Amino acid sequence: MPQAGIHGMVGMAAKKMMGRAEWLALGVVLGSFIPDMDNLGVAVATLTGASTEGIHRTATHSVFFIAAMMAVFYFIGVWKKDARWKNLGLGLGLGILLHSLLDLLIWFNGVELFWPLGGEINFWANITPPEWWMKLMDTAEFLFFGLYLWALGSWARKAGVDSEFMGKHRVWMWMEFALFAIFTPIFFFVEKGYYSIYGALYLVSLFAVFFVTIRMRKTVESV
Ligand SMILES: [Zn+2]
């Protein structure tokens, strides 16, 4: 699992360069989060006892998924006669692409960029990271969700928007920092039995951050 919060922040940085097309920036940031929602599939497979192989970093990280996403939103835009949906689709495509490329660079795993054609790309194939690093990567998911929300909050204040949502925003932000503080010692000092609880809370966080971003779209659009 790469740090989804980093993806979100890179998405925010990329959107700064993108001008003012409505919903384009929102698409880029949301697109940065979408690929790792395949972990939901991993969770379902784990719960049902099915194989978790070939679920993560495959379909949702693929160029064909990007093309399909952009096509779907393009046609929604045509159907609704509203160019914002096309912008959103373009943004989602860019965000997902950015995410997949970033995944190749960070965190020791390959990506099936051309799924379902196969051919995993892995720059890290010959490197086995130390165990403590892998643990830190998992627990740092919460840290980076928190940092992403913190950045979103400071942008909202600067732009003077979404002020009515800041109470709830703060709850989610501090919950992420708290989860990081709780799970870091657990990962290092508890033998086993916590990983599915961690996985469930990770998924809740990922979807929460996704919907908080939609709720705070004025902030995203104002940066
Ligand atoms: Zn990913």
pLDDT, one tens digit per residue, over 50-97 is: 998 889 999 999 999 999 999 999 999 999 999 999 999 999 999 999
- The CA 164 to ligand 1 mean position distance, Å, reads 32
3-state SS assignment for residue 179: helix
> Which residue is associated with the tokens 């051309």?
114
- The CA 181 to ligand 1 mean position distance, Å, reads 23
Q: And the tokens for 162?
A: 């979404």
Q: Which residues contact 49 (CB under 8 A, 6 or more apart)?
A: none
- The CA 159 to ligand 1 mean position distance, Å, reads 30
- The CA 88 to ligand 1 mean position distance, Å, reads 20
Q: Which residues contact 38 (CB under 8 A, 6 or more apart)?
A: 55, 56, 57, 58, 59, 60, 61
Are the CB atoms for 136 and 1 separated by under 8 Å?
no
- The residues placing their C-beta within 5 Å of ligand 1, an ion, are 2, 35-36, 103
3-state SS assignment for residue 121: strand
Q: Would you state the pLDDT for residue 110?
A: 85
**What one-character DSSP code corresponds to residue 18?**
S
The string of pLDDT tens digits covering residues 95-139 is 999 999 988 887 677 899 999 888 788 887 888 888 888 889 899
Q: And the tokens for 53?
A: 């192989």
The string of pLDDT tens digits covering residues 176-206 is 999 999 999 999 999 888 989 999 999 999 9
3-state SS assignment for residue 215: helix
Q: Where are the domains of the chain?
A: 4-222
**What one-character DSSP code corresponds to residue 111?**
B
pTM flag (> 0.75): yes
Tell me how far the alpha carbon of residue 139 is from its chain's centroid.
15
Alpha helices of the chain — where are they, by DSSP H? 4-16, 24-33, 39-48, 63-80, 83-105, 131-159, 166-189, 195-215, 217-222
10-26: average pLDDT: 76
Tell me which residue of 216, 214, 219, 212 sits closest to 172, measured CA to CA: 212
